[in-house]
Structure formats: C-alpha cells, structure tokens
Amino acid sequence: MNEKSKVLALKYRPKIFEELIGQKVASDTIINSIKADKVPNAYLFTGIRGVGKTTIARIVAKSLNCLNGIEKICVKNLCTNCEGISKSSHMDVLELNGADKTSINDIRDLIEFSRYGPTSSKYKIFIIDEVHQISSSAFNALLKILEEPPNYLKFILATTEIKKVPVTIVSRCQRFDLSRVKSEDLFQFIKKVKDKENGNVSDEVLKLIVKISEGSVRDALSLLDRGLLSLNKNKELDLSEAQKIFGYFDKSQLIEMFDLVLQGDEKKVLEIYRKIFDQGIDPKVFINDFLELIYYFKNINSLTLESTNFSLNDEEFSKIKKISNSIDNKVLILFWQFTIKTIEELEVVSNQNLSIEMYLMRLIYLNPHNQKIDKENKNETKASIEKDINYLSKNDAVDQIRNITQEKKIKPESGTNIKAENRIIDSFKNLLDICNEKKEIKLKYELEKNVNLVNFERNRIEISFNENLDKSFVKELSSKLYEWTRERWIISFSKEMGQMSVKQQLDNDKKKLINDIKKTKLYNDFIKIFPDAYLRDVILDKKDEDI
C-alpha cells in the first residue's frame, strides 16, 4: 500500500520501542529482558483500545527475531525478518484473532503447528489478539504449553478485557497493563503528525481531539484524519467547525445551562438544550458530558486547569469555580446519582431526547435552594424534594425519578369528570378488594400474579415484580389510586424479593390442603378401593372454609 494513501493510524504506527508514546515502563522492561536473555514464555498486554497492545506485540516479535539484534534493530532498511513481520507475512510469526479462532480445535491446530521449529528466525512466535474471546476449553488446551513451551516458542497475548482471561492463563504470562496516554503527550504527538501532514489545524482543535480520544492514540489519529480531510485549502480548521465535524459542543453552553438549572429557569434551560440537540449531539454524549461537569463543580477547588486534561479552558474553569461557591455539595451528590441512573435508563427508552428534557426539569426541582420556582407550587415542591432526599438514602435514585414522574402523570387533566371518592386504602388486601369492587380485572390480575409486595404504607407501595408485569402497570395503578383516594401515591421498585405473590400463596395453600387430605383415613380407605385414583383438587363447602 502506498504510504500516502494510508490512514494516519497505520501510517504513524510505531515500528520500534523508541517511537512508542506513553508506555515507557513496559518498553524498558521488555528491552532489558531481551538484552539479558531472560525472555518470558509468554507476554500478556492489556489496556483500552488504541494504546498499543498489538503494536507492542509486533515490536517484541521484531526485537526477538531481527537479524541485527535488539541493539541494532532495523528502522529503515529492514532485514527479511523485520519486513515479513511488519507485513504480517512472516512464516515464523503467526497472528491470530481470538474472535476468529475461538474453538479448542483451532488451538489444537496451533499446538500441533508449534511442534515444528522456526524456519528462518530464532523464535517461532504466536500473537493472539483479543484472547479473552476464545472458549474455556481452548484456554485449558493452552495451559500446559504456555507453562513449558519449547525454547524456540514464544506467545504474545493481547486483550481489552483482562477479567475474562482465566487466572491460570494470566499467571503463566508476564503481564503488562498499558495505561492511557497522558493528554500532554498525546497532544504533542498529534501536533507533530499534523505538521508532517501540513495540516492547518488550531491547537484548540488538537486539544478537543485529545479530550474526545480519552487516551487512545488510534482514536486521536482517526479524528485528526477526519479533520484534515474536511479542510478547505488555505483555511484553518477552528474549534467551532471541529465541534460540528466531531459531533461535540461548546462546554460553555453546558456551564450556562447548569447555572440556569440552579436558578430554576425552565424555559431557558430547554432552549439551550434544544439548541445543543439541533447541532446533532447524541443524548448519551450530552448526559456523559453533563456528568463530567457535575464532577468539576463538586471538586473544582481541588483541581488545577492542567488536571482537567484540556476539558476546560481558562474562562470555563474560572466560571465553574465562581458558580460552585453557591452550590450545596449535597445537591451536587444528588445530581450525580440521578445522572448515573438516567444513563442506565437511556438504554430502555425509545425517545432519548424527551427523556433528557424531563431529566433536566427534574434537576431543577431537586434543588431546594431554587428561588424561581412558581410561588403557587413552591411549598408543595419543597415538601416533595425533602421527601425525595430522605427517601434516597433507602432506595435507588432511579426510583425517585419514577416517583416524581408518576406524581405528574396522575394529575387529572382539566375538563375530565372524575368523581372524588376519598377512599382509604390501608393494606394490599384492601387494594385487591377495591379492584374487584370496581371491576378492574386486569389491574387485579397483575397485582395477584406478577407483583411481590415488599412494603405497604399510606400513599406508598414498594414492590418487586416478574418479567410478565405489564409495562403500563405503574401508570394505571397510580392513576386508579389517585382516582379512588384523591391522594398521590408513590409506587417504587425494590431489589428485595418481597412476599410471595397472591397467586403463589394460593397455589401453596392448595398444595398444603391436598397434602393434608392425603393424610386422612377417608382418603387412604378410598385409595385402597380405587388404587388408580388421583387427587387433583379440593373444594371446600362454605361452611367448612373456616375449619
């Protein structure tokens, strides 16, 4: 492939240890072990994507097999071994993908192939990328040969998910945990690449690339490649244009919106969010950036501008520091918990944009110091907030979000004719009786069969449920409870198992009754006469039900 036509991630891929960035400890250890002729049977490289796992594996293979030795390893004029390894065509260096070679038969073939010595180099080397994806039986087949391979055989394993690799495999390897590349190192690296490519890109854009790539060199080069391809001749790629290209938005907009959330200005908060959304920002990206901003507001006094890894500029840093002085830490911790749960909920909702808008409104009403809440609802909102904060210590934040949503949903629409009943419902049984009385058969069915009661209090029901529970159950139950009692009810989900469902209890009572009948003399006498008989059910007369 022509060098000019290569993507930057391949074009600037390190070929020797000196070209690696951010992995000096691993590089020095490996070089020293090769020079001392104390090469381990197997290497294991782990870390996030794009930090150099496969790249280092190839460099190790070249260092072990270079005809010039580790001291004079080929850089430009490659020997036959180094050239073959660089092109992945060397007979003695076999690269495998754990996702393709997953079965025990694949590993058996590899072990069989390992019995033959190298053809033109000192070592035969097997590089297995994403090794965590091979099967358990395949791992077991590797165990013995990893521990005691022939002198000419070396293994190099790489994985992004070290926890999925059995401990027995890890213990037979020399393990290196490759760290994320530091922001300053990555910035200087892509700046050099930009200069070599004659790219007209501002430093602010490069810092944005470093921020988005999260320590991954490959991600940073891919983003830079995209930015350079979008350039017009004689025009610099500036920050605002780069934000559109990378689907990123100005952090100052987020800070302004956060300040408005604290002030309780619903209208302006939604205006800013919709403006951000119209820029093409994914709701998941937005919520993760919002979570990061909460962290900065909470810890800004213990941070420096440099420690934010280019996430903030001078103006943004100063603005956050100024606003944070007026925020209670308890509010920020509460915001953090709700944001984490909102990220989880985005996986199950169809319209993520609307969920984010409701999340922002919820944050406004969670701030007890908010002075711009409508006066008519101020006392009611404050009481609700205090109840939410106290309840949060016992339940997940996700329940709080559901609870407030329920409270809004159960308010009757204007113009509807709902008869005020003011019924008192003080037990789960009482609730079932009213469902029966009101002929709410579907609701009664769900309560009896798919719900396990954890706790029942006045205006609060805590339940667990099985997978058959109808999706609209909470909405329907909340609506009916409000209709019957004219009071708001909170239905929250618990991780506890709770009591048996009514259906399970009835089934157990029936089994117990049948077993009791089988112990009676009447039943045993009957079975003697009719040995093929089978007791299927027992129906008590009404006069016997209290016996």
Segment 382-394, tens digit of pLDDT: 454 444 445 444 4
Do 291 and 336 meet the contact criterion of CB atoms below 8 Å apart?
A: yes
Using only C-alpha atoms, what is the Rg of the chain? 33
Residue ranges of domains in the chain: 3-177, 183-245, 251-394, 428-493, 502-544
Do 312 and 296 meet the contact criterion of CB atoms below 8 Å apart?
A: yes
Q: Which residue has the higher pLDDT, 388 or 291?
A: 291
- CATH fold of the domain at 3-177: Rossmann fold (3.40.50)
Rounded distance, CA 327 to CA 347, Å? 30
**Tokens describing residue 118:** 């190298």
Task: Please report the pLDDT score of residue 310 as a whole number.
Answer: 65
Instruction: Tell me yes or no: is domain 251-394 CATH 1.10.3430.10.
Output: no
By three-state DSSP, how is residue 125 classified? strand
By three-state DSSP, how is residue 128 classified? strand
Task: Please report the pLDDT score of residue 189 as a whole number.
Answer: 93
Do 42 and 33 meet the contact criterion of CB atoms below 8 Å apart?
A: no
Architecture per CATH, domain 183-245, reads as: Orthogonal Bundle (1.10)
By three-state DSSP, how is residue 292 classified? helix
Enter the pTM of the model: 0.58
CA dihedral (349, 352, 353, 354) in degrees, to 10, reads 20
Q: How far is CA 50 from CA 13, 180, 205, 218, 283, in A?
A: 11, 9, 20, 5, 25
Residue 412 in this model has a pLDDT that exceeds 50: no
Residue 409 in this model has a pLDDT that exceeds 70: no
Which residue shows structure tokens 């109840």? Answer: 387
Residue 441 in this model has a pLDDT that exceeds 90: no
Task: Please report the pLDDT score of residue 233 as a whole number.
Answer: 67
**Residues near 106 by beta carbon (within 8 Å), at least 6 away in sequence:** 96, 134, 138
Phi and psi of 435, rounded to 5°?
-60, -40
Kindly report the average pLDDT of the chain as a whole number: 81
Residue 300 in this model has a pLDDT that exceeds 80: yes
Rounded distance, CA 363 to CA 331, Å? 9
**Tokens describing residue 537:** 């059910």
Least confident of 18-27, 43-52, 500-509: 500-509
Which residue shows structure tokens 């993908």? Answer: 97
The residue type of 499 is Q
Q: Which residues of 436-474 are buried (b: 16+ CB within 10 A; e: fewer)?
A: eeeebeebbebbbebbbbbebeeeebbbbbeeebeeebb
Rounded distance, CA 33 to CA 41, Å? 12
Q: What is the mean pLDDT of residues 478-503?
A: 82
What is the DSSP code (8-state) at residue 247?
A: T
Which residue, among 522, 515, 505, 504, has the nearest Cα to 537 in the 3D structure? 515
Please count the other Cβ atoms lying within 10 Å of the Cβ belonging to residue 431: 21
Q: How far is CA 272 from CA 20, 26, 259, 266, 402, in A?
A: 42, 46, 12, 10, 25
Residue 401 in this model has a pLDDT that exceeds 80: no
Task: Please report the pLDDT score of residue 238 as a whole number.
Answer: 84
